[in-house]
Chains A and B, each alone.
Chain A
Amino acid sequence: MDILNLLLQGVSVSILPANLLSCIIGVLIGTLVGVLPGIDTVSAIALLLPFSYGMDSTAALIMFAGIYYGSKYGGSTTSILLNVPGEAASVVTCLDGYPMGQKGRAGAALAISAIGSFIAGTIGLIGLTLLAPPLAQAALAFGPPEYFSLSLVGLILLSKLTGTSTLKSALMAVIGIMLSTIGLDSLSGISRFTFGIDELDRGFDLSIIAMGLFGIGEILTAMTHADAKPDIPSVKFRDLYPTKEEWQRSITPMFRGGIVGFLVGLLPGPAATISSFISYGLEKRYSKHPEEFGHGAIEGVAGPEAANNSAISATMIPLLSLGLPFCGATAILLSGFMIHGITPGPSLITERPELFWGLIASMYIGNVLLLIINLPLIGVFVQLLKTPLNFLMPLVAVVTLTGAYSINNSMFDLIWVIFFGILGFLLQRAGFEPSPLIIGLVLGPELERGLTQGLIICNGNIWTFITRPLAATILSLGFIVILYNFVTWFTKFNNKRKELDANRS
């Protein structure tokens, strides 16, 4: 097969000592970046760009790509151990990963997360290898009305994600949307809800809110237990690895997550984050133990972690085939390309096949490396949990705050992290789930952009808007799912009522 040949050629390029070394360095840095809250992929690559001038282009790009997908492996570590998302894409892992850690299953969670990332990352790469050009074209067919429909349906379905009260989750989601409107709006050119405070123009950074709600919130909760400090279950060696049952429950989610992540990654927006949420929702829906979600369901870790890794492979498709970066990290990768005189686009495959295939081959190798690196580290990380809480929590607080500061070099951000930490703490006590807020925050801008741009494109004609073939399909599918949910809910409600009536008589 032609492609296989090319891929093998790529492998021969990627195992050249210089390239292999860059790959190793890249994935190591990536893991570190993922583990540390606050330092994100974009900053890391930007910082290293000037250093890469002297390097050979292929080696440099291999390193940058390594940082990119490496970070998605590391992000789950702090989520599981400390409820602090190392990256926005790892927020969902906190939901079930952290409870698992509390129950002493941290090792299992970390292992499943690493393996799921590997499997899905590889699936994504296979997709990338085989389908890059046609998929890129297909992705272009999605225009603003389609993005709006996706965001709307996504919001409605995903806000039912966690917790027991749909009403509360819905409210959190809308509040997330409202928060996302604060700041300078590029669609209209004016600042909204900023009251003349320049710093607010930037709007709320997703990471800041996530670190505050989840990280600082958890620290506050942990440190203010009025009762004696909870016993950290001592971790035995066999606890480091997943049980057979956990394995079995994780396999399908990993594959499902891999596919979902891949599809979502083709579209603009923070693909890894969105795909992790979607995967979580899917797993909850298909799980035989939905009530466990939020309390340590292994599927809730396997699926999302798989999804965010395969999303990475997918985001490379628009970048490499069309030269279009759909998210922050690919944008800086694009800059990395251009600095080395390479412009990705339709001609890249034909003009520089050794670069293209070398890069892809290095991604396969990198995934394997990451698996090899991460698995043994699990033992090390789990030891961290043995630290008495009262020493651990303050340290985590400082790391979180420092990381938050480093995102924008802004003291102002720190105030917000703490504010959201307090909010997260209060919300937890009041039974509100914080994750729908993150969904609202992430999808809000997509929603607004899709709506505004779409309406202009369709001349204000709503009918034209919703009868575009793709948009119509998405909206109808969404409508059907919502209807189905409503009917099931109603039937349950009715049955309960009948039960109560029957019991009374």
Chain B
Amino acid sequence: MIEKIISLLFLIGSLTYLYWAQEFTFGTLGSPKSGFLPNLAGVTALLLSLLLIFRQFRLKKTKNKDAVDWTKFLFILIGFAFYLMILTIVGYFAATFIFLFYLFKVADTSGWRVPLAISFCGSAAFHLLFTYYLKVALP
């Protein structure tokens, strides 16, 4: 099922890409311009995704994959989004601390104190490592 969705997405993606690529001149063989490769690549992708979808509708087998906990997936994504948003506001240390704790909870770790402690140590360690030893400018 998901295979077909992805292939369809790729098909739409290639079409969109090709559409946007029309903005660039194709050029000539002696003087290829910026639209040369994009057009070629876009057309190839289009053909391939068409072939793929065609083939998928002919064979009906789907592989059985482990079930996925989509709720957790959603929670993790929300966590990521939240982390990105607060990163610039409260700074690296605080944001990472909150984020780590959140993720630990989503990942079903038990108790409060251990996750809290590890979140604290983790954020501190990373902060130190990246800021002082590696001189990276963290938010």
> Do A and B touch (CB < 8 Å)?
yes
Shortest CB-to-CB span from B20 to chain A, Å, is 6
A225 contacts B by Cβ under 8 Å: yes
Give B17-58 as 1s and 0s: 1 = Cβ < 8 Å from A's Cβ atoms: 100110010001111111011100110110011011001000
Most buried by A among B24, B32, B44, B104: B32
Q: Which of B3, B28, B51 contacts A460 (CB 8 A)?
A: B28
Shortest CB-to-CB span from B136 to chain A, Å, is 4
A18 contacts B by Cβ under 8 Å: no
Chain B residues near A224 (CB-CB < 8 A): 68-70, 72-73, 76
A63 contacts B by Cβ under 8 Å: no
A177 contacts B by Cβ under 8 Å: yes
Chain A residues near B87 (CB-CB < 8 A): 411, 414
CB of B63 within 8 A of CB of A190, answer no
Chain B residues near A36 (CB-CB < 8 A): 129, 134
Stretch from A72-80, A321-329, A389-397 that touches the partner: A389-397
Chain B residues near A223 (CB-CB < 8 A): 72, 76, 103, 106-107
CB of B104 within 8 A of CB of A177, answer no
CB of B134 within 8 A of CB of A431, answer no
Stretch from A236-244, A257-265, A401-409 that touches the partner: A401-409
**Nearest residue in A to B107 (C-beta to C-beta)?**
A390
Shortest CB-to-CB span from B53 to chain A, Å, is 10
| Docked pose: A44 CA to B130 CA in angstroms | 12
CB of B34 within 8 A of CB of A174, answer no
| Docked pose: A223 CA to B66 CA in angstroms | 12
CB of B38 within 8 A of CB of A391, answer no
| Docked pose: A390 CA to B123 CA in angstroms | 16
Chain B residues near A185 (CB-CB < 8 A): 34
CB within 8 Å for A409 and B137 given contacts A167-B55, A393-B103, A460-B31:
yes
Which interface class (under 10, 10 to 19, 20 to 34, 35 or more) fits A?
35 or more
| Docked pose: A395 CA to B125 CA in angstroms | 11
CB within 8 Å for A429 and B42 given contacts A395-B122, A422-B77:
no
| Docked pose: A399 CA to B129 CA in angstroms | 10
Shortest CB-to-CB span from A157 to chain B, Å, is 16
Chain B residues near A112 (CB-CB < 8 A): none
CB within 8 Å for A402 and B130 given contacts A226-B66, A431-B63:
yes
A349 contacts B by Cβ under 8 Å: no
| Docked pose: A220 CA to B65 CA in angstroms | 15
Chain B residues near A206 (CB-CB < 8 A): none
CB of B6 within 8 A of CB of A432, answer yes
Shortest CB-to-CB span from A216 to chain B, Å, is 8
CB of B37 within 8 A of CB of A447, answer yes
Q: Which of A193, A225, A432 contacts B69 (CB 8 A)?
A: A225
A192 contacts B by Cβ under 8 Å: yes
| Docked pose: A402 CA to B95 CA in angstroms | 12
**Nearest residue in A to B80 (C-beta to C-beta)?**
A418
CB of B63 within 8 A of CB of A414, answer no
Most buried by B among A425, A427, A448, A451: A448
Most buried by A among B14, B29, B51: B29
Q: Which of A39, A177, A393, A409 contacts B107 (CB 8 A)?
A: A393
**Nearest residue in B to A414 (C-beta to C-beta)?**
B84
**Nearest residue in B to A452 (C-beta to C-beta)?**
B32
CB within 8 Å for A398 and B130 given contacts A181-B37, A225-B69:
no
Give A207-228 as 1s and 0s: 1 = Cβ < 8 Å from B's Cβ atoms: 0000000000000100111110
Chain B residues near A429 (CB-CB < 8 A): 2, 65, 68
| Docked pose: A190 CA to B34 CA in angstroms | 8
| Docked pose: A8 CA to B70 CA in angstroms | 63
| Docked pose: A444 CA to B45 CA in angstroms | 14
Shortest CB-to-CB span from A411 to chain B, Å, is 7
| Docked pose: A425 CA to B80 CA in angstroms | 15
Q: Which of B36, B49, B80, B139 contacts A171 (CB 8 A)?
A: B49
Chain A residues near B68 (CB-CB < 8 A): 224-226, 429
Give A256-294 as 1s and 0s: 1 = Cβ < 8 Å from B's Cβ atoms: 000000000000000000000000000000000000000
| Docked pose: A460 CA to B38 CA in angstroms | 18
Shortest CB-to-CB span from B137 to chain A, Å, is 6
Q: Which of B31, B104, B118, B122 contacts A456 (CB 8 A)?
A: B31
Give A374-399 as 1s and 0s: 1 = Cβ < 8 Å from B's Cβ atoms: 00000000000000111101110111
**Nearest residue in B to A406 (C-beta to C-beta)?**
B136
Chain B residues near A402 (CB-CB < 8 A): 92, 96, 126, 130, 138
A503 contacts B by Cβ under 8 Å: no
Chain A residues near B37 (CB-CB < 8 A): 177, 181, 444, 447-448, 451-452
Most buried by B among A175, A224, A422: A224
B:67-100 near A, CB below 8 Å: 67-70, 72-73, 76-77, 80, 83-84, 87-88, 92, 96, 99-100
CB of A398 within 8 A of CB of B38, answer no
A-B contacts, 16 listed (Cβ < 8 Å):
A47-B134, A167-B51, A171-B10, A171-B49, A174-B48, A177-B37, A188-B33, A193-B17, A226-B69, A411-B84, A411-B88, A430-B5, A431-B3, A432-B6, A447-B37, A452-B36
Q: Please report B residues at the A interface, Cβ cutoff 8 Å.
A: 2-3, 5-7, 10, 13-14, 17, 20-21, 24, 28-34, 36-38, 41-42, 44-45, 48-49, 51-52, 55, 63, 65-70, 72-73, 76-77, 80, 83-84, 87-88, 92, 96, 99-100, 103-104, 106-109, 115, 118, 122-123, 126, 129-130, 134-139
The 6 A-B residue pairs with the shortest CB-CB distance, nearest first, are A460-B30, A394-B103, A390-B107, A188-B34, A460-B29, A226-B67
